[in-house]
Structure 1
Amino acid sequence: MLNAAEAAMDQVAEDDAERQRNRAMLYAPPGGRSRTPDGRRVRPPGMEMDMRRAQALTAQLSAEDARLTGGTTG
């Protein structure tokens, strides 16, 4: 799919410099991602989940699943 996008962009480019800019834009990593100096991703504040919250979420999902399928949890 990227090859098709690259070919379409090459057809409308006016010169080699524009083709290079188009390729750089096409293959650039997505923006808006924060990374530490060693390359690890940084999560936005408030995105962590402790064990208690994970267990509560699992219980909610199990109850919703039981409600939708008509089964019992356990």
Structure 2
Amino acid sequence: MINAAEASIEASAEDDAERRRIRAKLYAPPKNRPQQGGRRSRPPQMQMNALEAQALAAQLEAEDNRLAGRRSG
């Protein structure tokens, strides 16, 4: 579906230079999004330190054991 839309847009171009301009505009990164050197960062509420990660792992292990009918220990 996207390929058909792209082909339709490019078909409206009169020459190769215009096709290149259309393609550059179509695939350009969004202007309102700040660039971070290619790295995406998580929002502060999604970050977790090592102690929180270990506590979560322990909770997951306990829940897994409970569901499997095993005793934790």
| Residues 1-74 of structure 1 aligned to structure 2 (within 5 Å) | 5-6=2-3, 8-9=4-5, 10-11=7-8, 13=9, 15-16=12-13, 20=22, 24=26, 27=27, 35-36=35-36, 38-74=37-73
Take 1:70 and 1:33, find their aligned partners in 2: how far apart are those partners? 49
Distance 1:5 1:49, change over 3 A: same
Q: Is there any run of 5+ residues in structure 2 with no aligned partner, and where?
A: none
Post-superposition offset of 1:34: 5.3
Secondary structure of the 1:43 match is: coil
TM-score of the superposed pair, with normalisation by structure 1 = 0.54
Secondary structure of the 2:41 match is: coil
**Aligned-residue identity in percent:** 46
- Residue by residue over 1:25-58, the C-alpha shift from the partner in whole angstroms, topping out at 9 and shown as x without a partner, is xx5668x97542x332232122221111111101
Take 2:28 and 2:49, find their aligned partners in 1: how far apart are those partners? 34
Distance 1:5 1:51, change over 3 A: same
TM-score of the superposed pair, with normalisation by structure 2 = 0.55
Letter in 2 for 1:49: M
Residues matched between the structures, number: 66
